[in-house]
Chain A
């Protein structure tokens, strides 16, 4: 791609931060799924067995949360909902059918924003519930009735987050030219104009 046809979308710090979170998410998700259902228990082998899986998982989770704080700070203001988002959500069928013409989307569309807030809420819930059930350091200080609830909150939020990340990854594969924004930092001007016209105009000024 011609340098003149590029628009910068993510700085190198933003990319590094994103991939740090992504890596820790994968490790936390795999080690967590191992404890979610027996069908996934084999995943604990990647972490050195069940006991190591149990030991490492909370540390991976806390590191993920800390690095996600960076992403929150960087992207928080870009993810406030605007009137254009209402229109996008109304035309979700068109969006999924690759007919997004006429939508005046800014840097992020309503789907991306929703995913951002889902990640904010679930990672906070995961942190709180995870600390409560963390053996042997913190769990003994909480009543058993609370541990029972925390286990459910933890796995339910994890499920929502993992499902959300599935959508996030698929969307990046589906909308061509998106992955490069996070690997190289730029998108094509045509990409910006087609998918994020309001942002395109703002940048073009």
Chain B
């Protein structure tokens, strides 16, 4: 939801600068430390409670994933993976999935409805459902398969990073509920610094490849992971190794459309110029006379 105290850095389908007078707002970030997550789903419950949604009760699909997928009524889910590294060991990987709040958001780029998707000055990417037209283009723009169209109202929903709480100086509901400190929230700089400490700790515990997941392909994200196996993000339930906005979306939306839009104008202008320079093509009396002659 729109909040007066949040500056808007970018606004979907808008070609001028949205209100951003305060400008230099510190960037925020959520850090998800996978090595500390115990899969208790307190964050899922807190998200439901604060944002006041209830997904319909589903069925067990044989995993601990419950519900099994994101939905318009489920903005974050724990994704459980049984991973067997070499040496006959078993690791239970648990990834809290949800919107990554990309610095370069593909959803916002793809959206044709003015103001349906905004990026605040602090980096949070938010859907304003009252402007959403339900076309689903945000789904094509997202490299992480996050937005979901609601079957109830035809609008797209996803994690807001509790923009309403952040606007009044509170941390997101999921952070508040996390019992192990796997979830932390603050400025992006602080979170990167915090992650460095965690990675050094993991390195000393035998996770030599531990790394921060802040993918550059989308300009970095405002939700970051500490991955114990940082060289293999895909083992964490298909977390993309090098995500980016599909060129089918970025090139098309970026340069092609304004040029083509202009092209239609040029064609129309071309017709007008042709008419006033070459003039109409008219059958004249001469043609009529010839026709009369032939008919005789």
Contacts and interface: CB of A to CB of B under 8 A. Distances in A.
B279 A37 contact: no
Interface stretch (B92-100, B136-144, B198-206): B136-144
Contact of B151 (A136, A162, A193): A136
A149 B246 CA distance: 10
A139 B279 contact: no
Given A136-B154, A188-B283, A188-B288, A147 B260 contact: no
Interface in A111-156: 133, 135-136, 139-140, 144-145, 147-149, 151-152, 155
Contact of A190 (B260, B263, B268, B288): B288
A122 B14 CA distance: 29
Interface stretch (A47-55, A66-74, A84-92): A47-55
A139 to B, nearest CB: 6
B62 interface: no
Nearest to A147: B140
A3 interface: no
Interface stretch (B127-135, B179-187, B222-230): B127-135
Contacts of B135: 35, 54, 135
Chain A contact residues, majority secondary structure: helix
Contacts of B288: 5, 188-190
Given A36-B261, A38-B114, A151-B140, A174 B281 contact: yes
Contacts of A194: 283, 287
Interface residues of A, number: 52
A92 to B, nearest CB: 13
Specify which of B275, B281, B288 lies most central, judged by the most chain A CB atoms within 10 Å of its CB: B281
Nearest to A53: B133
B279 A98 contact: yes
Interface in B48-89: none
A145 B143 CA distance: 10
A121 to B, nearest CB: 18
Interface residues of B, number: 47
A140 B282 CA distance: 53
Nearest to B15: A38
A177 interface: yes
B287 A139 contact: no
Contacts of A44: 133
Interface stretch (A9-17, A19-27, A163-171): A163-171
A144 B145 contact: yes
Contact of B134 (A54, A97, A189): A54
B246 A148 contact: yes
Interface of A: 5, 34-41, 44, 50-51, 53-55, 96-98, 100, 133, 135-136, 139-140, 144-145, 147-149, 151-152, 155, 159, 162-163, 166-167, 170, 173-177, 188-191, 193-195, 200, 204
Q: Please give me the 7 A-B residue pairs with the lowest Cβ-Cβ distance, nearest first.
A: A170-B271, A50-B133, A190-B287, A148-B248, A190-B283, A190-B288, A135-B136
26 contacts: A36-B261, A37-B261, A38-B14, A38-B112, A39-B15, A39-B261, A40-B261, A50-B133, A51-B133, A54-B134, A54-B135, A100-B281, A136-B134, A147-B136, A147-B140, A151-B249, A155-B252, A162-B264, A166-B264, A167-B271, A174-B280, A176-B280, A176-B281, A177-B283, A194-B287, A204-B294
Given A133-B136, A135-B136, A159-B260, 8 more contacts: A36-B257, A98-B279, A147-B139, A148-B249, A149-B248, A162-B264, A166-B268, A190-B288
